Chains A and B, each alone.
Chain A
Amino acid sequence: MEPLNWFEIITRVFIQFIPVWVALVVVFTLSMVYKRRLGLYGKLFDSTIGMIGFALVMFWVFTGIFGAMDLIITHDPLSQVSGMKNKAPGTPLAGAEEGYYPYYLFGGDNLARDVFSRMVKGAWVVVQIAPMATVFAFMVGITLGLPAGYYGGKLDTFLSFLANLILAFPVILLFYLLVTPEIVDTGIPNYMAMVLFIFPIIFVGVLLNSRYRTQPKVRTPMLIVVLGIMGWLYLSLISQPGTALKLLPDAVDLFNLQGGILVVFVSVVFVNSPTVFRIVRGLTMDIKTRDYVAAAQTRGERPWYIMLWEILPNARGPLIVDFCLRIGYTTILLGTLGFFGLGLPPESPDWGTTINDGRRLLQVYLHPAIVPAVALLSMVLGLNLLADGLREESLRD
């Protein structure tokens, strides 16, 4: 068979992505139709930049999800096909059997794996980790930043000192200190996971308690159910067989994260939360001087009610914008970890690892490194544009 030319490659890639296009069209049509009823999310569709950003982000989100369901990929991302080492994009598979996709659309890498499929699978790694890690970082930052800003004093001094301590580390040094195999063996990341992952439980617990404190009949069962489920998830998340923390027997352990993901997750949350803390603290200090806070204080509301139900909703604008930017930053961090071969297993298809593999032969073979690089670039760019659009739209009213 003849190798494909560029036009044919683009057409075939386009066809492979059909599930993504369908999902994108559905999302955009629904959002456009109902955009007046969707609040800030709907307003996003008034700004071109926001829409481009949203489209880019959703493209990769859908690619990740469908890729995980084996819809888009043409080959197994780990299987090697002989004779396909470093082959140019569009090379036909030598001696392709029936049922195999006959081409390597974006060529083969230095271990004769399909670059296209690895790129799609890499999107799933990012989509899995980045948003969740950012959510966790926000939970930690909010739970600590609100009281620090609201009460001030010694608590504030202490927490700010800790945050500055972590921020004074260059990120890469921190990664090298936390993610090396020796440190992982001592179980330090697991203990850090134990501390960091408890914050969402505290956050939700305090949130519900402060709201329904006056209605014990609603509050008590609600808290028991919610905290029970979250506690179970928490315990199954942090207990890993074969590490220092083995809290739950296998029968009740709901899931185990595969090798390295927990460590990567923890370190990314750890690096991000001090910045979130500083932002939340600053916003709280600003908002606490407003009249409606004084009114709530006069009404006799409890401090935590004021923090979580008066201050936090009013700080949402900057926080949402920062959330989008931070997912992008987390994606960059994940790539950095992969680039230095930290945490994730070496055969992992994530973009950072693939770029690192590809760069060694960059002088001769471009495609193994360029494809994931462009993928990462477009995803982070999408998140930045989305944040920009959101900022503009939220400032407008």
Chain B
Amino acid sequence: MILTGLCLTFLVFTLTNLYPNLEKLAKTQGNFRMSDAEVTSYLEKNGYLQPMFVKYGEWLGVLPSYRHENADGTIQGRCIRPGTSPEEAPNFCGILQGNWGFSTVFKDEVGSIISTRLGLTGKLMFWVMVVMVPSALILGVLAGMREGSKTDRGLSTIAITTTATPEYVSGVILIAIFASSAAGLKWFKGTATSAMESANFENFALPVITIALYGMGYIARMTRASMAEVMTAQYIRTARLKGVSFPNIVMKHALRNALIAPFTVIMLQFPWLLNGVVIVETLFNYKGFGWTLVQAAGNNDIELLLGVSVVSVFVVLITQLISDIGYVYLNPRISVS
């Protein structure tokens, strides 16, 4: 997993530090009429022209960081902040030392930007989970309880429809129905910008529902499939013959075994949800993590984009790990030793 993480971050690092990106960075930081020689000298000064592996090592914080001696004898480098002398500055300053770099768009430390934005997105994700998981499980269990019945047909069609609706479609439709001033019901607000300080039902409902809908259908279908499978198992038949009531069978006998598969699916949904978050935050103008990703990528903010990528890649890897561990704990057939 650490190897995967290293490979992924190196890949992102390489792609963001390609020469055209650096050239654009030099021009946005300096001025747009820089000559090629000026661009080269700017990049040289900031240590962007070293070999890729060296730069990666410095960024990670395992190699001593680059220092450049200017013509007038002053020394500048990544670790040397304005106001500190080169002798006091630490040798290593990469993400391992907690130095994530400086964002050129937001003019702020990348670390602090990411933590505030992650907080905002965390709030969104929390409510998405609160809405999505229980409703998906209820939907799936109800549909899978009696396979082939009318309820099953109806609920499955709903589940298929929600999986077929990407966020940018359902978001647009929901805004049109509930928020537009032209023809809509005007129950909710079409933007969630105000939800960043104080989230309430009116400004937060639509983004949450939009993300939850897309993920819900998929989880519900998985739950339905595993519920239907469990309901045909021998021990359920035994319980029925014994005379246990139907609700009791579902709640006490079937549910736990039926929830193993959906659990892994819910955890593996995180990468998808991250997608949804990016789309929904752009659509509703909620300035969270996904919105930051779009801004960083759109404005060639290399260090911020790197930070965002590292965080999102690690979120994905950690959820994969949790899903593996959780699978073992939930499944009585695999013993924890």
CB-based contact B180/A363 at 8 Å: yes
CB-CB under 8 A for A180 and B297, given A168-B316, A173-B312: yes
Candidates B4, B166, B172, B271; contact of A332 at CB < 8 Å: B166
CB-based contact B313/A169 at 8 Å: yes
CB-CB under 8 A for A373 and B169, given A173-B312, A182-B24: yes
Within 8 A of A (CB), among B146-174: 156, 160-161, 163-166, 168-169, 172-173
Chain A contacts for B308, CB-based, 8 A: 173
Q: Which of A60-68, A132-140, A255-263, A335-343 has 4 or more CB atoms under 8 Å from chain B?
A: A335-343
* B136 within 8 Å of A (CB atoms): no
* B20 within 8 Å of A (CB atoms): yes
Q: CB-defined interface of B1-31 with A at 8 Å, one 1/0 digit per residue?
A: 0001001100110011011110010000000
Candidates A172, A176, A362, A383; contact of B175 at CB < 8 Å: A362
CB-based contact A177/B12 at 8 Å: yes
CB-CB under 8 A for A369 and B176, given A182-B24, A363-B190: yes
* A78 within 8 Å of B (CB atoms): no
CB-based contact B7/A165 at 8 Å: yes
* B317 within 8 Å of A (CB atoms): yes
Tell me how far the C-beta of A247 lies from the nearest C-beta in chain B, rounded to whole angstroms: 22
CB-based contact B172/A373 at 8 Å: yes
Chain B contacts for A352, CB-based, 8 A: 168
Within 8 A of A (CB), among B182-223: 182-183, 190
CB-CB under 8 A for A170 and B180, given A177-B15, A336-B279: no
CB-based contact B4/A366 at 8 Å: no
Q: Which of A33-41, A111-119, A374-382 has 4 or more CB atoms under 8 Å from chain B?
A: A374-382
CB-based contact B182/A365 at 8 Å: yes
CB-based contact B165/A380 at 8 Å: yes
* B228 within 8 Å of A (CB atoms): no
Q: CB-defined interface of B276-297 with A at 8 Å, one 1/0 digit per residue?
A: 0011001100000010011001
CB-CB under 8 A for A380 and B182, given A165-B8, A182-B21: no
**A179 nearest in chain B by CB position:** B297
**A339 nearest in chain B by CB position:** B168
CB-based contact B18/A186 at 8 Å: yes
Rounded to whole angstroms, the CA-CA distance of A181 and B97 in the bound complex is 33
Tell me how far the C-beta of B140 lies from the nearest C-beta in chain A, rounded to whole angstroms: 15
* A70 within 8 Å of B (CB atoms): no
* B112 within 8 Å of A (CB atoms): no
Chain B contacts for A376, CB-based, 8 A: 166, 169
**Tally of A-B Cβ pairs under 8 angstroms:** 139
Rounded to whole angstroms, the CA-CA distance of A369 and B283 in the bound complex is 12
Interface of B is mostly: helix
Which of A176, A365, A377 is packed against the most chain B CB atoms within 10 Å?
A176
Rounded to whole angstroms, the CA-CA distance of A374 and B164 in the bound complex is 11
**A378 nearest in chain B by CB position:** B164
Rounded to whole angstroms, the CA-CA distance of A182 and B297 in the bound complex is 11
Q: How large is the interface on B (under 10, 10 to 19, 20 to 34, 35 or more residues)?
A: 35 or more
* A161 within 8 Å of B (CB atoms): yes
CB-based contact A340/B294 at 8 Å: yes
* A164 within 8 Å of B (CB atoms): yes
Within 8 A of A (CB), among B257-304: 271, 274-275, 278-279, 282-283, 290, 293-294, 297, 300
Rounded to whole angstroms, the CA-CA distance of A339 and B290 in the bound complex is 14
Tell me how far the C-beta of B159 lies from the nearest C-beta in chain A, rounded to whole angstroms: 10
Rounded to whole angstroms, the CA-CA distance of A352 and B169 in the bound complex is 9
CB-based contact B172/A168 at 8 Å: no
CB-CB under 8 A for A364 and B15, given A165-B8, A182-B300: no
CB-based contact A362/B180 at 8 Å: yes
Tell me how far the C-beta of B20 lies from the nearest C-beta in chain A, rounded to whole angstroms: 4
* B116 within 8 Å of A (CB atoms): no
CB-based contact A362/B176 at 8 Å: yes
CB-based contact A169/B180 at 8 Å: no
CB-based contact A388/B293 at 8 Å: no
* A44 within 8 Å of B (CB atoms): no
Chain A contacts for B4, CB-based, 8 A: 161, 164-165, 168
* A384 within 8 Å of B (CB atoms): yes
Rounded to whole angstroms, the CA-CA distance of A355 and B173 in the bound complex is 11
CB-CB under 8 A for A366 and B183, given A169-B8, A381-B161: yes
CB-based contact B293/A172 at 8 Å: yes
CB-based contact B19/A186 at 8 Å: yes
Rounded to whole angstroms, the CA-CA distance of A388 and B153 in the bound complex is 12
Tell me how far the C-beta of A92 lies from the nearest C-beta in chain B, rounded to whole angstroms: 20
Chain A contacts for B173, CB-based, 8 A: 370, 373-374, 377
Chain B contacts for A358, CB-based, 8 A: 172
Within 8 A of B (CB), among A299-315: none
Chain B contacts for A164, CB-based, 8 A: 4
* B323 within 8 Å of A (CB atoms): no
CB-based contact A182/B317 at 8 Å: no
* B250 within 8 Å of A (CB atoms): no
Rounded to whole angstroms, the CA-CA distance of A173 and B297 in the bound complex is 8
* A4 within 8 Å of B (CB atoms): no
CB-based contact B18/A182 at 8 Å: yes
Rounded to whole angstroms, the CA-CA distance of A358 and B278 in the bound complex is 18
**B20 nearest in chain A by CB position:** A182
Rounded to whole angstroms, the CA-CA distance of A355 and B164 in the bound complex is 16
Q: CB-defined interface of A182-206 with B at 8 Å, one 1/0 digit per residue?
A: 1101101000000000000000000
**A172 nearest in chain B by CB position:** B278
Rounded to whole angstroms, the CA-CA distance of A356 and B308 in the bound complex is 24
Known: A328-B164, A355-B168. 20 other contacts (CB 8 A): A168-B320, A170-B312, A172-B279, A172-B293, A176-B293, A177-B16, A182-B300, A186-B18, A188-B18, A336-B166, A336-B275, A339-B279, A362-B180, A364-B181, A366-B183, A373-B168, A373-B169, A376-B166, A380-B164, A380-B165
Can you list the 6 inter-chain pairs with the closest CB atoms, starting with the nearest? A176-B297, A182-B20, A381-B164, A380-B164, A373-B169, A332-B166
Interface residues of A (CB under 8 A from B): 161, 164-165, 167-173, 176-178, 180, 182-183, 185-186, 188, 328, 332, 335-336, 339-340, 352, 355-356, 358-359, 362-366, 369-370, 373-374, 376-377, 380-381, 383-385, 388
28 of the cross-chain contacts (CB-CB < 8 Å) are A165-B4, A165-B8, A167-B271, A168-B320, A170-B275, A173-B12, A173-B293, A173-B297, A176-B294, A176-B297, A176-B305, A180-B300, A182-B20, A182-B300, A183-B15, A186-B20, A188-B15, A328-B164, A336-B168, A336-B275, A340-B282, A340-B294, A356-B168, A363-B190, A364-B181, A369-B176, A377-B165, A384-B160
